[in-house]
Structure 1
Amino acid sequence: MRALSPVPPTAVQGTLDELGRDLSGVTFCVVDLETTGGSAAAGSMITEIGAVKVRGGEVLGEFQTLVDPEGEIPTFIAVLTGITDAMVVGAPRIGEALPSFLEFARGSVLVAHNAPFDVGFLKHFTATLDLTWPGFETLDTARLARRVLVRDEVPNCKLGTLARHFRSSTTPNHRALADARATVDVLHALLERVGTMGVTTMEELATFSSRVSAAQRKKSRLADHLPHSPGVYLFRDRHEHVLYVGTSKDLRARVRSYFTSSETRTRMGEMIALATRVEGITCATALEAQVRELRLIAHHKPPYNRRSRHPERATWIKLTREPWPRLSFVRKTDDDADYLGPFTRRATAERAASALYEAFRIRQCSGRLPLRPSRTACALAEMGSCLAPCDGSSSGEEYAQEVGRVRAAFLGDPVEVVDASTGRMRTLASQRRFEDAAHERDRLVTLLQATHRSQRLSALLSCAEVVAARPLDASRRDWEVHVVRHGRLVAAGVMPATTPSRPWVDALRATAETVVPEQAPAATATESELVLRWMESDGLRLVDLDGEWASPVRGAGRHLPIVAAAERSRALAAPFDEARSDGWRTEHRPRR
């Protein structure tokens, strides 16, 4: 791989897309629907469509039509909207009204108050009628209002509340055209408000966040020298200290988004305020960028990165090599012992180890034991949970057999642990001790995930060299090629399909980084897992392989359905939280 070096600033001619579309020149189509209920998928129908097209503060046209819902309008909806069954007799059906509206709105940005509701209905019936959705950009005035306004100004962001607050010339009355006109006034008032915060383009509006100040938005110039290519970016402060490291398929677009996007993390706002320079490192492939990001984070330990800063703190479960082996929690894998992991937290490693202790009777005491028994057994031995080599209750041969079963669970099929754990879960469930059963399930899932991961990684780490290629896209014109040695990415490049492959690959291998097996591990487990995930992707072809890349057929992977079932049960047990994180509740329609 190429040496890490900063990319010097270069003069770049900006494009119109990068400059953005000025809001004064954008055509907005503000739409509102009246319906018979809150869900089109559940059978609710549209009873009225109202829309106003505006640009630069001027009304360009209006659209209004009642729609025959082909059924009775519920009484409470008729009372709310004033639209009765008699009013829609003779009105066009949705198959006639919707194409007319889509033609009216074509070429504009679609705006609605609580847009997911209105746009959801429109998309549903577009699909039902086998029409083509024009691919509108959409803008939600309710969402924008929540970002712009505070509780001291308005108690909520309902359309009626905002219309009164901004002194709209039209009062919303649950009729489509009147509500659309009121939404136009709200839209214009909100655009004026964000304009004072430095938002002048449609691109900035679509990604607006009130947490990004005007001064921070002006820092978007820091991205001007970056290319539109994959790579890694480093935010630096005035002392050249690295504040944050990230990766993207498009360096310039990603870095620019920090100054205009709806980034709500407080620490990112602090980081942007401190940043004075952004360094970009172009990478040949997305995988190379991801790996470089990991290495740079581990090297610089940027204060605003939260993950991957301390790979050295990962915990492994080690099956020790000593006369009476035991499980030990360690930070390094620096000998020929058997290891399971890594785990990001020691508590997770302890949970996996507890599942092993329940299935196998190896000792849990720390420290070395003499070859000959010399002390009294502990309480675990009295409970039958340990073979107690300390007091001579078991022979060396018997204890070695138990250790062999543990090693088999590490390296092969942990079926003994699965059988023991599932048996305990059934017993606990029959006793209606469901929390204890869930705890037992979580221990087993943690162990299976770690064992499967270790088995996959160890297969890759054992290979002295793997050269693999994958097409960049469906056209197969270019191929991304990676060289991996003992799980470490050592070279990356993109090979044109018209290039003779063997000389090109040989040249890439000749420039690859050298890995000394004795200095293992050559890479962090996180890096090797990134590489492995790429190598297991669709369309990959092995070019060269020095070693055996294989995982046991009867390994931990065959028990993954247990993991999937546990994840489903957790998802079903999780309560549904309707409250917004900022304390404003999401409004539920049918109406405002």
Structure 2
Amino acid sequence: MPGLSPQLSFDELGTPLREVTFVVLDLETTGGSAGNDAITEIGAVKIRGGERIGELATLVDPGTGVPPAVMALTGITTAMISGAPRLPAVLPTLLEFLSGAVLVAHNAPFDAGFLRAACERHGRPWPRPPVLCTARLARAVLSRDEAPSVRLGALAQLFGTTTKPTHRALADARATVEVLHHLLERVGNLGVQSLEELLGLARESAPHRPTQQQRKKRVLAAGVPAAPGVYLFRGPRDEVLYIGTSGDLQRRVRSYFTAGERRRRVRDMVALAERVDTVVCAHALEAAVRELRLIAAHQPRYNRRSRRPHRGWWVTPTAEAFPRLSVVATPRDGALGPFGSRQAAATAVDTVLDAVPLRPCTQRIPARGASASPCALHELGRCAAPCAGLQTPEEYAPAVRALHDLVDGRDDGALRTLATEVDELAGRERFESAAQARDRLAALILGLERSQRLATLAALPEVVGARPDGRGGWEVSVLRFGRLAAAGVAPRGVAPMPVIDALRLGAQTVLTEPGPLRGAPAEEVRLLHRWLTTGGTRLVHAEPSWAEPARSAARWGGWVERARPIEAGVD
């Protein structure tokens, strides 16, 4: 029954089993539905650390007679329940007995469903305790050869319990306690030591249930700290298999050994793992950056993303007398990018050439002495034919400046030209051509906006940001040329400025390289920019001032949204 076992709070995660209070419950009913007061008997046993600390047992008058079939099964007669308390009188005592405990039952959805419905019907708030089903736990722990059936009677016989189930509430609850203790012994051998792990194990369904070998790997999570950072799964040759990050390393690493992890690729990785290393970080941003860098350094076979952080495609003018646009993998100063694919970069080249009068040909043209015949592009007005000596480098230079102004955000005239062309095509009812031109322009705007945003941040020698940590303190990051140079925290009650000053003094020295991002990986710069501009981060220091270009592509974000609904048609 979904929703019976609530998500544990942060404080409850990793609670050792020896510190958990369990209330093992059994209900007998008239066989009616949970929507009626069909409960005839309640039995509950409270245990903690293997010791029995309390019991509760009572008959309940459901207000109706007991059917003969139920009477034959349980031995509870109508005469026995006549004069017993009604359910509204019993509920407060039972809920008090359950307070602060984990509710355990054999076929728990049945018992918990009856109690929850009773609370709703009689105006009592349902406390939503964590719920553990011993039947599901048994199926997760025991093989079918050992336990073909997980009925309470079959398990009691398998384990040789001193109390035998009799279809009476207290006796069945006591038998369930013994079964639970035997199951807990089994899960201890699987490395399950906490309440969170136990509940997760019981929720594991057969198609996704980890193998016994994988369950034994739970011990790899032992000693993992409950702190933000990066974790590295290592294989039998000490090779790094997989790298990930989390705000709570302990909780995340443990999740790899439960049914919550259903990716076949990752489950194969866990089966190979021999060790888990962790790197504790000051906060989530440092963890995310370290993850990117470690993945790039180790190239883990089971990581699919971020393995090549410097990989990307750039659009850049060539270094010659009459520069043309070229798609390259290594960025140069003044380049536009990065683009995710060579095709995306090539499309950006075609779109730029529609507005900036650079030559579209690929031949190398000397500054003097060109003697080729003009091509058809000259006749169409698309090229001034420098190849034929009809244009000098000085006459060609304004087109090169227009390109640099567009890429650097100093002039968006080329974007206005392209937007006007979209409007003219739509006005002439050439809707298909207008939609194609619109999409190409929108892609160029987004590429320019991304390039300008990242390049602006990567150009700054130092930026310091502080973000509230949600607990009255501050998470602090020092950025230099688009890379994280230092990270720390100023906890609640600690003055942040001395912490910031110390971080700046000890921050990493960053050596720059050619290109718009000064050698920083685009993914890291993008991560830092998002952190600085979201989540309430405050800009503490920037050297020099951090400002976007005056005519950047970001100003065209509204056009991209407004231009979407162009009617589809035929030229």
TM-score category, normalised to shorter length: 0.5 to 0.7
Match of 1:380 in 2: 377
Aligned residues of 2:23 and 2:104 also touching (Cα < 8 A): no
Deviations 1:359-411 (A, max 9, x none): 22312233532113332333433433333322234443442222222222212
What is the CA-CA distance between 1:430 and the residue it aligns to? 6.3
Task: Name the stretch that deviates more: 286-295 or 398-407.
Answer: 398-407
1:325 and 1:532 mapped to 2: Cα distance?
32
- 1:351 pairs, out of 344, 347, 357, with 347
Q: 2:483 matched to 1:485?
A: no
Q: How does 1:230-309 map to 2 (within 5 A)?
A: 230-309=228-307
Q: 2:541 matched to 1:556?
A: no
Aligned residues of 1:480 and 1:494 also touching (Cα < 8 A): yes
Secondary structure of 2:15's partner? helix
- 1:324 pairs, out of 316, 322, 325, with 322
Secondary structure of 1:400's partner? helix
Q: 2:443 matched to 1:463?
A: no
Distance 1:361 1:225, change over 3 A: same
Deviations 1:108-128 (A, max 9, x none): 8899xxx9xxx9xx9xxx9xx
1:313 and 1:553 mapped to 2: Cα distance?
29
1:320 and 1:363 mapped to 2: Cα distance?
11
- 1:447 pairs, out of 436, 444, 447, with 444
2:394 and 2:62 mapped to 1: Cα distance?
88
Q: 2:510 matched to 1:512?
A: no
Query: Over aligned residues, Cα RMSD in angstroms?
Result: 5.2
Match of 1:204 in 2: 201
Distance 1:15 1:544, change over 3 A: closer
Alignment coverage as a number of residue pairs: 455
What is the CA-CA distance between 1:267 and the residue it aligns to? 1.3
Tell me which amino acid in the other structure corresponds to 1:392.
Answer: G
What is the CA-CA distance between 1:544 and the residue it aligns to? 2.7
1:281 and 1:26 mapped to 2: Cα distance?
41
2:62 and 2:407 mapped to 1: Cα distance?
69
Deviations 1:274-314 (A, max 9, x none): 11111101011111110000001111111111111012321
Aligned residues of 1:469 and 1:540 also touching (Cα < 8 A): yes
Match of 2:421 in 1: 423
Tell me which amino acid in the other structure corresponds to 1:293.
Answer: E
Distance 1:546 1:202, change over 3 A: same
Percent of paired sites with the same residue: 40
Q: How does 1:387-406 map to 2 (within 5 A)?
A: 387-406=384-403
Match of 1:90 in 2: none
Tell me which amino acid in the other structure corresponds to 2:467.
Answer: R
1:330 and 1:138 mapped to 2: Cα distance?
58
Secondary structure of 2:336's partner? strand
Match of 1:96 in 2: none
Distance 1:408 1:222, change over 3 A: same
Match of 1:219 in 2: 217
Secondary structure of 1:311's partner? coil
Gaps of 5+ in 2: 1-11, 28-34, 46-56, 64-90, 141-149, 152-175, 181-185, 567-571
Distance 1:248 1:60, change over 3 A: farther
1:494 and 1:250 mapped to 2: Cα distance?
16
Aligned residues of 1:110 and 1:136 also touching (Cα < 8 A): no
What is the CA-CA distance between 1:132 and the residue it aligns to? 8.2
Task: Name the stretch that deviates more: 452-461 or 391-400.
Answer: 391-400
What is the CA-CA distance between 1:23 and the residue it aligns to? 13
1:561 and 1:51 mapped to 2: Cα distance?
62
TM-score (norm 1): 0.63
2:198 and 2:504 mapped to 1: Cα distance?
47
Distance 1:395 1:461, change over 3 A: same
What is the CA-CA distance between 1:565 and the residue it aligns to? 5.8
Distance 1:430 1:211, change over 3 A: farther
Deviations 1:538-572 (A, max 9, x none): 43233332223110243211212344468899xxx
Match of 1:84 in 2: none
Match of 2:527 in 1: 530
Distance 1:371 1:237, change over 3 A: same
Tell me which amino acid in the other structure corresponds to 1:309.
Answer: R
Distance 1:16 1:550, change over 3 A: closer
2:365 and 2:539 mapped to 1: Cα distance?
48
2:375 and 2:261 mapped to 1: Cα distance?
55
Aligned residues of 2:37 and 2:62 also touching (Cα < 8 A): yes
1:63 and 1:458 mapped to 2: Cα distance?
76
TM-score (norm 2): 0.65
Aligned residues of 1:22 and 1:201 also touching (Cα < 8 A): no
Distance 1:378 1:261, change over 3 A: farther
Distance 1:15 1:448, change over 3 A: closer
